[in-house]
Amino acid sequence: MTELLLTLHVLAAILAIGPITVAGSLFPRHMGAVLEGDGQAVRTAEILHRVCRGYALVGIAVPVFGFATGVRLGVLAEHWLIASVILTVLAAAVLELAIIPTQRRLLADPAPEGRPAISRLHMLTGVFNLLWAAVVVLMVVRPGAG
């Protein structure tokens, strides 16, 4: 059962977080094209935003399967896992409280915020991606684990 839960956890992470990192990273570039008058870029940005929103919901499976795996392995009190949980919560907060709302505002009316918001979005998606990279490192290396 532990192997199944771990497999589902890893698959959920790959299939949910991967599309968010790609779509989130591409969105600012397409919004920049929108500001330059590229009408087709609006449609692409809308699709990228929908991918971020949709996969954020699917991404809930990652900590659910991760928690179940941690229970089965008896590692919930391990420092590397606690750090991973904290980083995961931070990544989710960046996504839900900053990235997705900024995307939504830019799609509704890109003119008021313009380039500064797009630059912030580049930074925020970079932070989101780095947080997830740190979680992966912690999951693989498991520093201090017995």
Taking only the tens place, the pLDDT of each residue in 40-74 is 999 999 999 999 999 999 999 999 999 999 999 99
94, part of any domain: yes
* Residue 89 identity: V
Q: What is the pLDDT of residue 93?
A: 98
Q: Say if 13 falls within a structural domain.
A: yes
Question: Which pLDDT value is given to residue 146?
Answer: 58
Specify the pLDDT at position 33: 94
Domain-located, residue 118: yes
pLDDT confidence of 144, banded at 50, 70, 90?
Answer: low
CB-based contacts of 122, cutoff 8 Å, min separation 6? 28
pLDDT of residue 7: 94
In the DSSP assignment, the letter for residue 98 is I
Residue 145 has pLDDT above 90, yes or no: no
146 falls within a domain: no
Using DSSP's 3-state secondary structure scheme, residue 146 falls into coil
The answer to whether residues 121 and 17 touch, using CB atoms and an 8 Å cutoff, is no
Residue 124 forms part of a structural domain: yes
Does the residue 12 lie in any domain? yes
Name the nearest CA neighbour of 55 among 93, 96, 19. Answer: 19
pLDDT tens digit string along 85-131?
999 999 999 999 999 999 999 999 988 888 999 999 999 999 999 99
What's the number of domains the chain is made of? 1
Instruction: Identify the CA nearest to 83 among candidates 1, 144, 21, 3.
Output: 144
* Residue 99 belongs to a domain: yes
Q: What residues make up the domain containing 128? A: 2-141
Nearest-CA neighbor of 26 among 118, 134, 96?
118
